[in-house]
Structure 1
Amino acid sequence: MRNDLREHLSASSPESQSVPMQTETALASVRAPSSVSQGDHERRRHQSLAQSPGRKESEGEGAHTQKSSLEEVDPLSMPTGTAALCSVLSNFSSCPQMISDLASTRDSFGLAWLSLSFIRLGYCNLPLKTLDLSAFPLGAGKLGLLLSPSSVRGGPLGSLETLICGPGICTGPSLSILAQFLQRLRANSAGGGTADSSSCLKTVSMAGCDLSDTEAVLLLHSLPASVEVLNLSGNRLRTAAAESLSSALSLGWLPSVLCLDLSGNPLGPSGVSARCRGLAVASVGSTLPLPLQTLRLGGTVLKQGGMEALGELLGSGRVVCLQSLDLRDNAEGMEVEGVEALARGLSDSAAAPPLLRSLILSHNRLTDFPSGPSVTVAEKLLCSTSLSSLEELDLSHEALLGERRGPGVVCKCAKAIAEGRLSRLRCLKLFESAGGPRDLSGLAGALQAGKSRGIEELRLSGENGAEVGGGTGGDGGVGLGRVWEAGYLSKLVSLQLERLRGLRGQCLLDVCQALGKGTAPLLVCLELGGAWGGGEGEGENKIDESLRALAGGFRSGGFPLLEEFRLVAEGVVLSESGESRGLGELGRAVGGCGSMLKKLSLMWAEGGGLGAVGWAEGIRSGGLLSLETICLKIVKSGKEGCRELGGALGTREALPSLRKVRLECGCTEGSIGLAEGLGRSGGGLGAEVGVDLVLDEEGRGEDADATVRAFAVGMREGKLGCVQSIKVAVRGDEESLSTETARMFGQALPQSESRCAHVESLSFGFLGDKGVPESEGWSVVRPMPGVGGLMRGVVLGGCALPRLHTLCLQEDWGGEDWEDGLAVALAAGVKGGNLKSLRKLVVNIIDMTIEEIRSLSSVLASPNIAALRVLELFMFRPPPYSTVPGSGGIGRLGSAEAVALSGGLGSGRLFSLEELRLDVHATDSEMNILCGGMVGGNLRRLRVLDLSSNFLSEFEGVAEVLTVEMLPQLRELDLSENDLSDSAFETLSNVWGSVLPPPIERLKFRETSLGDKAARSLANLVGSRRFPSLSYVDLRGNPQISSETRSMLRGVLPSSSSGLDEKQL
């Protein structure tokens, strides 16, 4: 930061350039300059006020420092350091984020405080309307300095309009400091402050601050009445916080709220009902309607009760100003009666919000009830005339009933559009809700009616992972093509058409031809994708023509404003004689005519390499000067063509704006060629380009080994830019990946010349979040040979990975000697200080020997692991490996291994751990050993404990650690997929009857073979009121619980719980 100061000083005024570089003095100077006394300062203030005609002295009181400027204080009368810093602050005046950035780093906090002091004393006129403390790293003492009383009354924060909070200032002593600051702002705006309304706080964001009800209530009662936008999303708010907010609204403490965001909180039906009551009372008690314009309740577990309360509020006429309603992600536990209540509130009553412009109902199970009446609900909602002002409609993630039981949500939308009930519609999102020919043809016919000509955003896609084959597609695509040619979608800005069964063959061609004619000249984003092959032989014959039609559109200037282009060809290998040539022609056209393009995403498979060659030529043509991001996934292509493409990507003069590249490569010849092309002499991606690399083996044998080796060479030579994320997953064949190659790849990572010091995430043997084939539904998919060698290479690389925060390791089983295995290499890396920033560690310990377990335990006991926040240890061997004779089945953790592992868990080095998952197939005796280690492990920050998928039946050892003394911050306990006995809950009752349990909020007992006796024990535990924070209990997958017991549980467990109804079994 001090170097930055010197750079700005050198670029400032001539007077400041002549000042010696004494910024150290400026950094230490925190008081008024000695040469300018306080009396002189006051005298100058009165003189400046006297020079302002018509201004009263009282108007300047408390705000004079905000009206001061550098001209009012003579720089020559200041000490050298003070004048220098004033010059710096003047140059920063166009950057309102400066003080927030300074306050978010330990090393620069002093400068933030110093800047506020200079503004308060009138040395500079830096406007401060926004303060972002979302990443504030220090304690309550420093926060108190920043938010001191002098900063409000007549200070730089008195005119604050936007305050962004973070978890660091919303807990402990810092919470009181924040509340006091808000109270001072409230007092300042109520009286004694400036008369200027712009000095009032208008926006407060507490999103993702991990607020509990108690913390939220304190802050809600401290908010100024001027707040218009209140964001409380992503916290842990429940009924108490909702009732407090309800009181604040009903008593008129927050009369100006225009936008309220409560999404991502487990409010449940009772919390939402309390919220709705507050809105209703607030509007009744006022002569004017409540000004609320935006209400976001996504992911709040509305269920039937909450949806009914909301429907009643919407139909009451008390929120007539409402313009935006977001109810996404409330499918869990939703009943058809709840959806019907919402429909009544929006459609039946004449008092429904007349100005509603945005309605987001995605993922709410509007059409997937087996009984069918919810289809009628969707029709009722969409056929209502009360939605005539609607501009945005999102009904994404709904079942594709249109192809199975009659018209679905897409056809209902089409009908509403055709009849003119959505004439103002600008944005229609049906992501994973559309698909078949009937959907496309119905929507096309509706749009051709010409009653919704203002659509700017259209997103249609089929269900993810759904069967997309079959049928030629009907006339859906033909109809859509005609819509564009008739000019009905000429205002379109964003278009997404993906995974649509009706879009192939002639249908696909008509759409591409229509777009290529420039019928949507305002397009900024275009996403086209799907399984274009099939269709009784018709689809493949039209792909080449379709791609050429798009190419013609680019060449003729049909996409003059396009900034994002995504093309995904799934389920088809483009032939070299046809489709591959069309793909190449499209690449040359985009490269030569996509001057506005900023993001390009491509996925294809081709028999030859003509498509890759065409894209290489397009990139080299120099027309993509604005391109910032490339996402490339080549499933299959020729080696020479991909080598040309790699060379083009490494031509820096052709892509001067490139800053981000994502490469997803199968272990094929094409991937080898791509790596070799990037590694050409004089080429390669520059250090300014961040790279995410995914190597997923689709080939066999030599291709996998050669692919990994080729990319290792590229990293070692610094040709792959600034690598930030790496995922490598190959199959467990002995010939797929040699230990030597794996070690070479690992050794290339930490070498300084490879620029891999910026690597943040490494995943070996995993796909996706945990590695994971969606098609098979397993958490971890593929064994990977050579992971031990790869980690050994990281250790031998000679340099640390200072930014590495996530490490996921899937070892092959039974392959290498333990002395060169994964655990030993990992231990060496941690001991050597190579992984000091590690925050998440995921390891599959299947088939690890006792020596390897001890090495892993030494990792957990190392002082270099202090930053670890998430630890996941599990045993998994996916089919067909789990059924191989002699493979040991699924494997189990033995007593000796449990003793060794417990030493690491109890070492006391995991004091920063927040999440712990132990899916190690442990029985009660082994789990008792592990929990015994946890008792002395200083896990006081642990928030999530996942013991699912073990072989537990009793709770003796587990209960010992489940106390508030051992785990004072535990919020979630997952014991799912264990065969729990009735006596297990009696054990918990006895333990928690004598000692306080942790402040648990979420209990998960999914598929635990619970019966009536165990369920009643659970009800007694919850009913004992020893869990005041409990908001959710998961009992799904326990059919042994009788209907009578479930009915009893509904009266005891939190209303947002799952598994209390027969439908949720």
Structure 2
Amino acid sequence: MHPLSLDSSNLRVFQRCRKWAVSCRTTTIAELKDEGDVEVTRSRLLNYDLLMRWDFPFLASLQHSLSAVSSSRFSSSLVEPVSPLFFFFLARTRFNREEFCKDFVLGTRCVLHLLCRLRIAMETVSDEPVDVCASALSAIVSHGSPPAELISALASHKDGFATGWLVVHFIKHMEAGEPLRSLDLSEFSLDAGKLRLLLSSVPVGPDFLETLKGGLHVCTGPCLLALKRFLQRATSSSPPSSLKNLNLSKCDLSDSAGGTLLHSLPPSLEYLELNENRLRSLTMEALRSAFSEGTLSKLLGLDVSNNPLGPSGVATLARGLSASERVLPLQSLKLSNTAAKAEGVKALSAPLKEGKAPSLQVLDLGGNDMRAEGVGGLAGAVGPGTLSSLRVLILKENRLAKKSGGEWEFSDLIALLSNLIQFSALQELDVSENNLLGTSDDESPAPMIGQALEGGRLWALRTLNLLNTGICQEDLTAVCTALAGGTAASLQVLKLCRVDVPPGQILASAFDSNHLSQLRDLTFEDDAGWLSEGLGVVTRCLANGKAPSLIRLKIGVIHSTDPNTHVDEILGGLAEGLREKKFSSLEDLDLEFWPDSEHDFAPTEPLCEFGRALGEGGLSSLRRLSLFWFEQLSAGVGALAEGLGSGGLVSLEELCLQVSCGGGEENGCRELGEVLSTGKVPSLQKLLLECNVNSSLQRFAEGLGLGCLSPEVGVNLILHTAYADSTYEASAAVKAVAALIRDGKVAGLRKIAFEDGDQSSDPSDQSGIVGGAAQDLGEALAHVGDWGGSQKGIEELKIDCQVFNSDCPMGLSGLFSGIASGRGSLPSLHTISIPNLLPINVSAVRPLAECITKGKFPRLRNMQFSSSEAISFGQEGMRALSVALCSPHAKSLRSLTLRSEERSDNVEARTAEAAQMAALSTAFSFGQLIGLKELSFRGELFPESVSALCVGLGSGKLRSLRSLELPRVPVGDDEGTSALCQALSAEKMPELRSLKLGSVNDAGLKKMITEWGQITPPPLEKLDLSDASVGDEGLAALASLAGAGRLPFLWELPLPKRNGDAISSNTRAMLQAFSLLA
């Protein structure tokens, strides 16, 4: 019997609850009278008594609300148990705000007791877990403190808002529990009114809120104003606010919004995080003002990484630092990936040289293309009291050794390192992803690092990253020689490339001497075309236990079959260390052996030795194992299965296997499947399997079929058909996978990707999947079986159409037909990616459309159904797709990529193409795609087709669109361009930020500029002309429009690549004057 049944037992429970409530009422009123806090008026008593007269059905429904959600913590179906109470008071109260709060407190104190008693009563008749809302209320009533994470989660969603707000309200007005120190609004999804109500109840004085985290919804639209008002209240509060940490990262904060918001920063702020937004000069101007006015005089950390600041934005920030009247306590400054360039870095160097931030410990300038000129500016800022406290310096991806003209220049980098090395505070140095090879005559900075290490001037160094620097053997030898000297004994993270024999031997001696015993993270990766033949001896030293603190080890090397000794030694050394339990602290092991050619296979015996050693108890702490190799048969996989099945990897949570095996009769893959499916790795949570679609995959599926992977194991399958021996073999393997899915053996499947089809130009050589196997897979995905339903967890489907047999037109169609015919759906699928449709595959558009229309993909957000060559969906196909996009099931789409065009140029083809575009326009105009944010249409259309398409684009029903790509749609002086210009307006597309026009010429761009002079253009931030054919004439018109203030947000303008030389220096200067070129 359900615990809510109206039996005598439940009736007695509710009767006892009512008695408890009456008792609470009497006690509460007596307390209030004695304290004299509230004058209990007749009207308030009446409201109170009405609450006490709740009848049994109301109480039953209240308990039902509690019980209905008790089995899920944050379910979207959560029924808010106190919302009837909240709206009851809201409807009946006619007092002002202060009186309302008093009346609310009077009534809810009793009802909170009642809810807690109801919770207790519910526990007596049900074994279900306690609901989170009741838990939060219970904590308040019992003078406890609900966790800040729980309050934030409740207040962020409709189902829990009233409870979250109520708890915050009681903390503020009744001082119940501990003060709320942290509020996370990153998942807040309600309207601005509720945000204002919530924030108005959050106390901002001393000893209250210290950390506030924003989110996508909070930092846009009307909610942004509510957040601004809260910050203004915190700024002007008396006593002062205690807000120390403001995190607005990953909030899609626009430059104008950032500029508005950051004028209201409280002076108590110590850490400001703004990374991964769209901030530029306006926001930096707000920060400049805050620094110059002393508002940020307590700031310790500033992160503006991954924002398109450009040189001017970084320079504006630098002026703010310089304008500060006092020395700043700034300790961390992060500006990675801000397009600072050399000019921005040189501007930033000025306040640093002035000593405005003498306590700076972390400086991240990675990914800014600063070149040698920027490095020179930074080098001049290093001196006593200026950057002398620097502990972390990140300069990766900056082309440090090349000038803007392309010449090699090492002197500035050598000067920078030389100046820094004078001070012993440096703990992390990252110059990865910078080519430091130079020519034979160039002086490299690598010996400078070695000399500093050898001289003991970098004794504090904890992290050294030289990956993908291409440094020569002599330079790396110098670094390794210094490490062997024992002057960097504190080193914990070491990342090196190109470890040849001489530096490898010296590095091994450093381990042998116990000079690197503190290492926790060790990475070796080959540069392209390089064989790190010195790693074998290094691995042997590791196997002797010379790195007892090692937590993460990654080795990625290129190998050839002859010679192959370094791979033998690497695997053999690891196996020896595993057997002797010398890697007991290792938590993450990543091995990648890349073949130098398709005929280079990893050595079998060392692979087997390593695989078996994995299970000998030496890796009890290992949480992640990632392996990549090519082998001729499957003996290595079989040994791996033996190691995994031995029970020694008791902590393994993530297994990534990218293994290419030949077919043959060996059963290694079958044994691996059996081990994984029979619970031999009970701690496993994630499985990535990347393999060939051949007999090895079929055997792996057979092994998995012997047991069943836990539904808790998330599985990603990436399958390659390029090495299948025949169509029969590939199709049989896919059918085996389909059988697994149909039987529920991989219930945790998250992704299926078919990649790297056979690129052979000879159709007779292709051995792809036939339609029957593809249909089996589709039917399996939508199969509703006895094991509990269809494949509910799959999230991503990616298909390279070349995996299908070229003689079989039903390959892709079969897949979607199978899904459409099944009784189940794919409720978690959010991405369908088919980027390279072939003409033979376009018939799949109709079964795909059928799937959408039938609601098979209720949460589909991203759909790519395109091609690199000209294809046509045909009128029937496009009509079917249009119907699907008009269905309610298309509302979830956020990104759509399509291509369809007619290849012939005649009246019939033009008419057919225009009809297709008219059908697509109907979908755009219908209103179901109102949430679409990204649209890419890649067809090359006739002018009349462009006009038909623009009817939909200009319908005003794509108001959420942020990115529009038309790489092949011709834009010239014709009727189609006129229609496109009318569609591209702020009225029709108020959110459009990025526009790509790949087939526009000067006439077309001038026509667009003329139209934008008469109507308000969309708020473009990026206009991509990189594939266009425009020159001085069109770009000059664009610069004039920008100069007139008609494109106030435009900052990124990729210029044409094909005729870039045809653009004059005067035009470039004009564009740069309006900040359109970096």
**TM-score bin, normalised by smaller chain:** 0.7 to 0.9
What is the aligned partner in structure 1 of residue 1049 from structure 2? 1029
What is the aligned partner in structure 2 of residue 318 from structure 1? 356
What is the aligned partner in structure 1 of residue 554 from structure 2? 527
What is the aligned partner in structure 1 of residue 261 from structure 2? 219
What is the aligned partner in structure 2 of residue 159 from structure 1? 208
What is the aligned partner in structure 1 of residue 988 from structure 2? 966
Task: Provide Cα deviations, 1:805-846, integer angstroms capped at 9, x if missing partner.
Answer: 111135753436x7xx31111111111111121111110262
Q: Residues of 2 paired with 1:509 and 1:711: CA distance?
A: 38
What is the aligned partner in structure 1 of residue 335 from structure 2? 297
Task: Provide Cα deviations, 1:246-280, integer angstroms capped at 9, x if missing partner.
Answer: 11111111221100011111212221111111112
User: Matches of residues 440-479 of structure 1 in structure 2 within 5 Å?
Assistant: 440-461=476-497, 473-479=500-506
Q: Residues of 1 paired with 2:283 and 2:782: CA distance?
A: 48
Amino acid at match of 1:390: L
Q: Residues of 2 paired with 1:891 and 1:546: CA distance?
A: 63
User: Matches of residues 65-84 of structure 1 in structure 2 within 5 Å?
Assistant: 80-81=117-118
What is the aligned partner in structure 2 of residue 765 from structure 1? 800
Task: Provide Cα deviations, 1:855-908, integer angstroms capped at 9, x if missing partner.
Answer: 22222222210111111113699xxxx9xx99xxx9999333333322222322
Matched residue of 1:37: which SS?
helix
Q: 1:748 aligns with which of 780, 783, 788?
A: 780
Instruction: Indicate if the aligned counterparts of 2:310 and 2:340 stay in contact, CA closer than 8 A.
Output: yes
Q: Residues of 1 paired with 2:451 and 2:952: CA distance?
A: 64
Instruction: Indicate if the aligned counterparts of 1:152 and 1:184 stay in contact, CA closer than 8 A.
Output: no
Instruction: Indicate if the aligned counterparts of 1:765 and 1:784 stay in contact, CA closer than 8 A.
Output: no
User: Matches of residues 336-355 of structure 1 in structure 2 within 5 Å?
Assistant: 336-346=372-382, 349-355=383-389
Q: Residues of 2 paired with 1:21 and 1:403: CA distance?
A: 87
Q: Does 1:975 align with 2:997?
A: yes
Matched residue of 2:840: which SS?
coil
Q: Residues of 2 paired with 1:892 and 1:499: CA distance?
A: 56
Question: Over the residues paired in the alignment, what is the CA RMSD in angstroms?
Answer: 3.8
The 3 A distance-change label for structure 1 pair 174 and 34 is farther
What is the aligned partner in structure 1 of residue 972 from structure 2? 953
What is the aligned partner in structure 1 of residue 127 from structure 2? none
Q: Residues of 2 paired with 1:419 and 1:853: CA distance?
A: 71
Q: Does 1:605 align with 2:627?
A: no
User: Matches of residues 634-645 of structure 1 in structure 2 within 5 Å?
Assistant: 634-637=659-662, 639-645=666-672
Q: Residues of 1 paired with 2:397 and 2:965: CA distance?
A: 27
What is the aligned partner in structure 1 of residue 75 from structure 2? none
TM-score under structure 1 normalisation?
A: 0.83
Q: Does 1:37 align with 2:29?
A: yes
* CA shift for structure 1 position 1007: 3.3
Matched residue of 1:557: which SS?
coil
Q: 1:920 aligns with which of 939, 953, 968?
A: 939
* CA shift for structure 1 position 95: 4.1
What is the aligned partner in structure 1 of residue 416 from structure 2? 381
Instruction: Indicate if the aligned counterparts of 1:766 and 1:782 stay in contact, CA closer than 8 A.
Output: no
Instruction: Indicate if the aligned counterparts of 1:512 and 1:549 stay in contact, CA closer than 8 A.
Output: yes
The 3 A distance-change label for structure 1 pair 848 and 91 is farther
Unaligned residue ranges in structure 1 (runs of 5+): 7-16, 47-64, 194-198, 463-471, 772-780, 1059-1065
Task: Provide Cα deviations, 1:366-417, integer angstroms capped at 9, x if missing partner.
Answer: 1244643432222222222345321111112112525776555555543443
* CA shift for structure 1 position 76: 7.3
What is the aligned partner in structure 2 of residue 261 from structure 1? 303
Amino acid at match of 2:357: V
Unaligned residue ranges in structure 2 (runs of 5+): 5-9, 39-101, 121-133
Instruction: Indicate if the aligned counterparts of 1:573 and 1:605 stay in contact, CA closer than 8 A.
Output: no
What is the aligned partner in structure 1 of residue 46 from structure 2? none
Instruction: Indicate if the aligned counterparts of 1:494 and 1:526 stay in contact, CA closer than 8 A.
Output: yes
Q: Residues of 1 paired with 2:878 and 2:443: CA distance?
A: 57
Q: Residues of 2 paired with 1:261 and 1:662: CA distance?
A: 34
Amino acid at match of 2:553: L
Q: Does 1:739 align with 2:786?
A: no
Task: Provide Cα deviations, 1:960-996, integer angstroms capped at 9, x if missing partner.
Answer: 11111111111111113x2x33222321222111111
- Per mean C-alpha deviation after superposition, the further-off stretch among 336-345 and 1011-1020 is 336-345
Task: Provide Cα deviations, 1:179-206, integer angstroms capped at 9, x if missing partner.
Answer: 2222333344x41x7xxxxx81111111
Amino acid at match of 2:453: I
Q: Residues of 2 paired with 1:944 and 1:576: CA distance?
A: 44
Q: 1:101 aligns with which of 149, 153, 157?
A: 153
What is the aligned partner in structure 2 of residue 837 from structure 1? 859
Q: Residues of 1 paired with 2:450 and 2:18: CA distance?
A: 70
* CA shift for structure 1 position 563: 0.4
Matched residue of 1:747: which SS?
helix
What is the aligned partner in structure 1 of residue 886 from structure 2? 861
* CA shift for structure 1 position 422: 2.7
Q: Does 1:694 align with 2:712?
A: no
Instruction: Indicate if the aligned counterparts of 1:495 and 1:527 stay in contact, CA closer than 8 A.
Output: yes
What is the aligned partner in structure 1 of residue 709 from structure 2? 685
Amino acid at match of 1:266: P
Instruction: Indicate if the aligned counterparts of 1:205 and 1:232 stay in contact, CA closer than 8 A.
Output: yes
The 3 A distance-change label for structure 1 pair 961 and 1024 is same
TM-score under structure 2 normalisation?
A: 0.82
Matched residue of 1:688: which SS?
coil
Amino acid at match of 1:684: C
* CA shift for structure 1 position 561: 0.9
Instruction: Indicate if the aligned counterparts of 1:401 and 1:407 stay in contact, CA closer than 8 A.
Output: no
Q: Does 1:209 align with 2:251?
A: yes
Q: 2:400 aligns with which of 353, 363, 366?
A: 366
Task: Provide Cα deviations, 1:122-177, integer angstroms capped at 9, x if missing partner.
Answer: 595255322111111111122122212x43168xx971221110021112221121
The 3 A distance-change label for structure 1 pair 1044 and 907 is same
Amino acid at match of 1:109: F
Q: Does 1:1046 align with 2:1067?
A: yes
Amino acid at match of 1:455: L
Task: Provide Cα deviations, 1:713-746, integer angstroms capped at 9, x if missing partner.
Answer: 1111122241112212344867511111101111
What is the aligned partner in structure 2 of residue 143 from structure 1? 195
- Per mean C-alpha deviation after superposition, the further-off stretch among 231-240 and 581-590 is 581-590
Q: 2:754 aligns with which of 711, 728, 752?
A: 728
Q: Residues of 2 paired with 1:599 and 1:719: CA distance?
A: 23
Matched residue of 1:549: which SS?
helix
Q: Does 1:112 align with 2:164?
A: yes
Q: Residues of 1 paired with 2:474 and 2:807: CA distance?
A: 39
What is the aligned partner in structure 2 of residue 548 from structure 1? 572
The 3 A distance-change label for structure 1 pair 532 and 400 is farther
* CA shift for structure 1 position 909: 1.9
Q: Does 1:179 align with 2:228?
A: yes
Q: Residues of 1 paired with 2:302 and 2:912: CA distance?
A: 49
Q: Residues of 2 paired with 1:162 and 1:643: CA distance?
A: 52
Instruction: Indicate if the aligned counterparts of 1:724 and 1:756 stay in contact, CA closer than 8 A.
Output: no
- Per mean C-alpha deviation after superposition, the further-off stretch among 239-248 and 416-425 is 416-425
Q: Does 1:488 align with 2:515?
A: yes
User: Matches of residues 594-633 of structure 1 in structure 2 within 5 Å?
Assistant: 594-633=619-658
Q: Residues of 1 paired with 2:501 and 2:204: CA distance?
A: 70
Q: Residues of 2 paired with 1:91 and 1:561: CA distance?
A: 43
Matched residue of 2:553: which SS?
strand
Instruction: Indicate if the aligned counterparts of 2:575 and 2:609 stay in contact, CA closer than 8 A.
Output: yes
Matched residue of 2:967: which SS?
coil
Matched residue of 1:100: which SS?
helix
Matched residue of 1:441: which SS?
helix
Q: Residues of 2 paired with 1:97 and 1:454: CA distance?
A: 37
Q: Residues of 2 paired with 1:478 and 1:18: CA distance?
A: 82
Task: Provide Cα deviations, 1:993-1014, integer angstroms capped at 9, x if missing partner.
Answer: 1111111111111132222212
Q: Residues of 2 paired with 1:415 and 1:1018: CA distance?
A: 53
- The higher-RCO structure (CA 8 Å, 6+ apart) is 1
Q: 2:288 aligns with which of 210, 232, 246?
A: 246
Q: Does 1:909 align with 2:928?
A: yes
- Per mean C-alpha deviation after superposition, the further-off stretch among 520-529 and 832-841 is 832-841
Task: Provide Cα deviations, 1:785-822, integer angstroms capped at 9, x if missing partner.
Answer: 71111111111221121111111135753436x7xx31
User: Matches of residues 778-797 of structure 1 in structure 2 within 5 Å?
Assistant: 786-797=811-822
Q: Residues of 1 paired with 2:322 and 2:815: CA distance?
A: 62
Matched residue of 1:676: which SS?
helix
Count of aligned positions: 958
Amino acid at match of 1:750: A
The 3 A distance-change label for structure 1 pair 409 and 118 is same
